[in-house]
Amino acid sequence: MEHECGTSPDKRDERLALLIWYRFSRIYNQSVRESEQHLKTWDMTVAQFDVIAQIGLNKRLTQGQLAEKLLVTKGNITQLLSRLEQAGLIRREQDWKVKHVSLTDKGKALYEQVVPMQERFQASHFDALDREEKEQFLHLLKKLSARTTE
C-alpha cells in the first residue's frame, strides 16, 4: 500500500521484521519438537503436558477456564480431557452447571515429577544468553505482547 520514493527505511524495516519472524518461528517450532521428544519419556505430548501443568498449578478449575488459560477452544479441551481421564490422570466433577477438573493422585505424582523436569528443559533453550541478554529479550517480548494483546 506504500510506495515510498527515496527507497524508504520502511522497506528496510519490513525486511528486518520479516527476518525476525522467520527466525522466531523456526526457533519456536524446533523447541516444540524437542519438547515433544523429551516428553516421550513420560508417554506424554506437549498438549497433555500443558493441561496437566495448568491443572496442577490451579488445583481445580472449570473446563472453560482451562480453555481460556491455554488459549484453545472448549472442543479441544473436551478431547484432551477425555484422554487424560481415561489414563486416570484427571477427574471431572459436574458441579452446578460447570465441570470442575482436578488431578487424581496418579496425576499429581506425574505433575510433581514431570513439571520441574520440563521447565528445566524449556528454560535450557535460552542458556545461550547471559543474564543481561535474557532480561533484554524478555523486555522486548513484553513490548511485543503489549501491542499484540490490545
By the criterion CB under 7 A, which residues form the site for DNA? Answer: 33, 36-37, 45-48, 62-65, 67, 71-83, 92, 96-100
CB of 142 to DNA, least distance (A): 23
The three grid cell numbers given for residue 31, joined into one nine-digit string: 523447541
103 and 55 Cβ atoms separated by less than 8 Å: yes
Structural contact between residues 135 and 121, judged by C-beta atoms closer than 8 angstroms:
no
Site for a copy of itself in 34-73 (CB under 8 A): 71
- Neighbour-count burial of 71, counting CB atoms closer than 10 A to its CB (0-12 exposed, 13-18 middle, 19+ buried): exposed
> Using the rule CB under 8 A, which residue among 8, 27, 79, 106 binds a copy of itself?
27
In the complex, least distance from residue 8 CB atom to DNA, rounded to whole angstroms: 33
Site for a copy of itself in 78-97 (CB under 8 A): none
Cell of 80: 484432551
Question: Which residue stretches of the chain are H helix?
Answer: 9-40, 46-58, 63-70, 74-86, 105-124, 131-149
Query: Whole-angstrom distance between the N-terminal and C-terminal Cα of the chain?
Result: 24
Smallest gap from Cβ 93 to DNA, in A, equals: 10
String marking each residue 104-133 x if it binds a copy of itself according to CB under 8 A: ---------------xx-xxxxxxxx-x-x
Min dist CB 95 to a copy of itself, Å, is 29
Q: Footprint of a copy of itself on this chain (CB under 8 A)? A: 1, 9, 13-21, 23-32, 71, 119-120, 122-129, 131, 133-138, 140-148
